[in-house]
């Protein structure tokens, strides 16, 4: 595969690392928390097909990597949506208020109590503001935790997934009563 990227091994290795960095950045911007795993899968697929593809391929090999990445990412999205609930449990912008909202609020309160204090602080502050204050608040939050904004987004996403599951479980338990 390195020969396909460049006849010089040093430049080929550098190009491979550059492609990997770009792929990972693309996935992180898409808030994909499995960016490195998807890059590994992309690289593996290209490695397995390079003997078939390289002789007839015309153009920059990096573009082939990006095409394979697109397919790997679509498969990952499909798998993630199969095993998670894509429908939001709680929509705070709703103008209607009913008993179900109270149940969701109660379950949310209970689920927040189950979180590690740092995770609870992070999630509550992450969604605390709106507009420009939201942007500035998230920058300060990331700085306080000593992480980048992308890492903050991924952490919040993971906490949200846990909260959503907890809220759904809580609502299911209440509905069974």
Same domain? For 104 and 165 the reply is: yes
Q: Per-residue pLDDT tens for 69-100?
A: 999 888 888 777 655 544 444 444 444 444 55
Same domain? For 122 and 166 the reply is: yes
Q: Per-residue pLDDT tens for 35-81?
A: 888 888 999 999 999 999 888 988 889 899 999 999 988 888 877 76
Q: What is the pLDDT of residue 29?
A: 80
Quote the tokens at residue 42.
Answer: 């992309």
Give the number of other Cβ atoms within 10 Å of residue 160's Cβ.
13
Quote the tokens at residue 131.
Answer: 């507009």
How many domains does the structure of the chain reveal? 2
Mean per-residue pLDDT of the chain: 82
Same domain? For 106 and 73 the reply is: no
Query: CATH code at 116?
Result: 1.10.10
Same domain? For 74 and 140 the reply is: no
> For residues 33 and 158, is the Cβ–Cβ distance under 8 A?
yes
Same domain? For 172 and 113 the reply is: yes
| Domain-terminating residue out of 82, 114, 132 | 82
Angle between helices 35-53 and 61-82 (to 10 degrees): 130
Cα dist. 25→21, 32, 113, 154 in Å? 6, 10, 34, 13
Same domain? For 10 and 75 the reply is: yes
Q: What is the pLDDT of residue 15?
A: 92
Determine, yes or no, domain membership for 87.
no
| Domain-terminating residue out of 19, 47, 82 | 82
Same domain? For 62 and 106 the reply is: no
Determine, yes or no, domain membership for 53.
yes
pTM (2 decimals)? Answer: 0.47
Determine, yes or no, domain membership for 94.
no
What residues make up the domain containing 63? 2-82
The 3 state secondary structure assigned to 86-101 is: CCCCCCCCCCCCCHHH
Cα dist. 153→28, 32, 177 in Å? 9, 10, 36
| Domain-terminating residue out of 82, 112, 146 | 82
Determine, yes or no, domain membership for 10.
yes
Instruction: Give the residue from 16, 60, 168, 44 showing the smallest Cα distance to 107.
Output: 168
Same domain? For 63 and 24 the reply is: yes
Q: Give the residue with greater pLDDT, 83 vs 1.
A: 1
**What is the C-alpha separation between 104 and 107, in angstroms, rounded?**
5
């Amino acid at each position: 595969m390195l020969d396909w990227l460049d006849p010089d091994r040093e430049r080929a290795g550098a190009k491979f690392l550059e492609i990997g960095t770009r792929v990972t950045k693309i996935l992180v911007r898409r808030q994909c928390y499995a960016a490195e795993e998807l890059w590994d899968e992309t690289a593996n697929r290209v490695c397995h097909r390079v003997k078939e593809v390289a002789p007839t391929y015309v153009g920059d090999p990096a573009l082939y990597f990006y095409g394979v990445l697109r397919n790997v990412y679509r498969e990952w999205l499909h798998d993630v949506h199969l095993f998670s609930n894509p429908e939001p449990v709680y929509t705070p912008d709703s103008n209607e208020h009913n008993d179900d909202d109270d149940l969701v609020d109660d379950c949310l309160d209970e689920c927040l109590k189950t979180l590690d204090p740092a995770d609870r602080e992070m999630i509550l502050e992450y969604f605390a503001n709106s507009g420009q204050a939201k942007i500035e608040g998230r920058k300060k939050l990331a700085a306080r935790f000593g992480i980048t904004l992308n890492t903050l987004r991924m952490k919040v996403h993971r906490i949200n997934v846990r909260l959503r599951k907890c809220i759904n479980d809580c609502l299911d338990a209440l509905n069974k009563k």
